[in-house]
Chain A
Amino acid sequence: MAVTAKTLNETEFFYGHKACAGCGGSLAVRIALKVLGENAIAVLPAGCMSAVGFNFPQLCFGNNAIISTFAGTASMLTGVQAGLKAQGITDFQAVGFAGDGGTADIGIQALSGAIDRNDDILYICYDNEAYMNTGIQKSSLTPFGAKTTTTPAGKNIHGNIRPKKNMFEIVAAHGIPYAATASVGYLNDFMKKVEKAKSIKGTKYIHILAPCPTGWGIKTDETVEIAKEVVDCGLWYLAEYENGNFTLNHKPNEFSDIEKYLKKQARFKHLTDGDIEIIRKSRDEKWEYINKNFK
């Protein structure tokens, strides 16, 4: 039976941290650790979650946890896993929590290496779509049109000119045992995926969209609803990759209003009708692909 709020481990493992109010990333970490339980060994690179959770003597992880180098989440996970295995210890789950920059930019080499070796680790990317810890700079997972502090929205350029890198399918292309996308707006789906990942041997990757009120320009209480809305309007999707097949877990009957989703956020306020049309078109192309290739 799938884990729910009622059956979820009641212990909080990520507590007292200094994340901004309404932080989507901290919600993803908190829930994943509750599903994994006390034997999770967490590796977090430089980034929001390590910055808010590990300021000696304020140490906010109740389970074992360590900060890795920015690029080294996956390679440190490998070392943790191999080090325990070599000592005959097996009842643990090495889990990494890295942001979008730590995953899709600086950490992608180590992640690719770990998947290639099929190391028995779980890698969770909490994607808030920019380098939030350093003050909202563009990463390769920043979506088209988003204003960041390195993709300003002016007369000449309307924010980020490149689309979001497709990490989910990049990871899947390695032939990984399990990969999934998720959103903090749909936690039951996320919990199910973490639980499933826990039961699979080899490398697992979960990419969870985790809005950042500070960086997205939304109110602190809007994190969860915007994370739902991004799925409902079709700009994000909930899917899995397993045994060589893609599965869509949640298919909106009809998409909610894309413009409404975008204009709620300060980072998209500047978008013209033309910009929004580009986003709509790319969404439709993506879904054409998903409908054709995902079960």
Chain B
Amino acid sequence: MKPFLREKVPVNFEDVPDTTSFEAGYLVTKNAGWRNVRPVIDTAKCVGCLNCYLYCPDGVIFKKDGKVAIDYDFCKGCGICKKICKVQAIELEAEK
């Protein structure tokens, strides 16, 4: 199962478990705020080789319509995808 964002942030007494065990893959915060640059995919250039998907340390690049797309909620903007892309289909744009 892929970890995903939840609405409830269990930090109150009744929500905190009795033991140090909890549902797997429980996310309450995004990583988008870490980013200085945003990778943007030029789908016209993308050949769907999946190298960026394979080498992304955060796993935020996913397959879409034979090509790839990015989950910007969790991309940290490291730039590995741009470097690894053989057809220069990814550009980094400054985050405002």
Contacts and interface: CB of A to CB of B under 8 A. Distances in A.
Interface of A: 5-6, 8, 10-19, 21-24, 26-27, 30-31, 38, 56-65, 184, 187, 213, 219-225
Nearest to B17: A56
Given A5-B54, A221-B83, A224-B80, A15 B23 contact: no
A22 B11 CA distance: 30
Given A13-B2, A59-B3, A23 B24 contact: no
Interface string B1-24: 111110001110000000010111
B46 to A, nearest CB: 14
Contact of B26 (A18, A19, A59, A225): A59
A15 B29 contact: no
Interface of B: 1-5, 9-11, 20, 22-31, 34, 49-51, 53-59, 62-63, 74, 76-80, 82-84
Nearest to B77: A21
A5 B2 CA distance: 17
A8 B58 CA distance: 16
Contact of A16 (B20, B27, B57): B27
A58 B79 contact: no
Given A5-B51, A57-B10, A62 B58 contact: no
A148 to B, nearest CB: 22
Given A57-B26, A62-B1, A62-B25, A14 B54 contact: no
Contacts of A16: 3, 5, 27, 29-31, 74
Query: Looking at chain B's contact residues, is the secondary structure mostly helix, strand, loop, or mixed?
Result: loop
Contacts of A31: 54
B26 A38 contact: no
B86 to A, nearest CB: 13
B27 A187 contact: no
Contact of B59 (A15, A22, A222): A15
B27 A224 contact: no
Given A38-B1, A59-B23, A15 B74 contact: yes
B31 A18 contact: yes
A61 B24 contact: yes
Contacts of B57: 19, 21-24, 26-27, 30, 223
Q: 3 shortest A-B CB distances, which residue pairs?
A: A221-B79, A22-B78, A5-B50
Nearest to B51: A5
A271 B80 CA distance: 27
A15 B22 contact: no
Contact of A57 (B11, B53, B79): B11
Q: Which of B1, B2, B80 lies at the interface centre, i.e. has the most chain A CB atoms within 10 A of its CB? A: B80
A65 B58 CA distance: 18
Contacts of B2: 11-13, 15, 62
Given A187-B55, A221-B83, A21 B76 contact: yes
Nearest to B48: A6
A58 B26 contact: yes
A15 B24 contact: no
A30 B59 contact: yes
Contacts of A22: 57, 76, 78-80
Contact of A187 (B54, B58, B82): B54
A26 B25 CA distance: 15
A224 B55 contact: yes
A16 B28 CA distance: 9
A16 B73 CA distance: 9
Contacts of B62: 10
Nearest to B52: A5
9 contacts: A5-B50, A6-B50, A8-B54, A11-B2, A18-B31, A57-B22, A62-B2, A220-B80, A222-B83
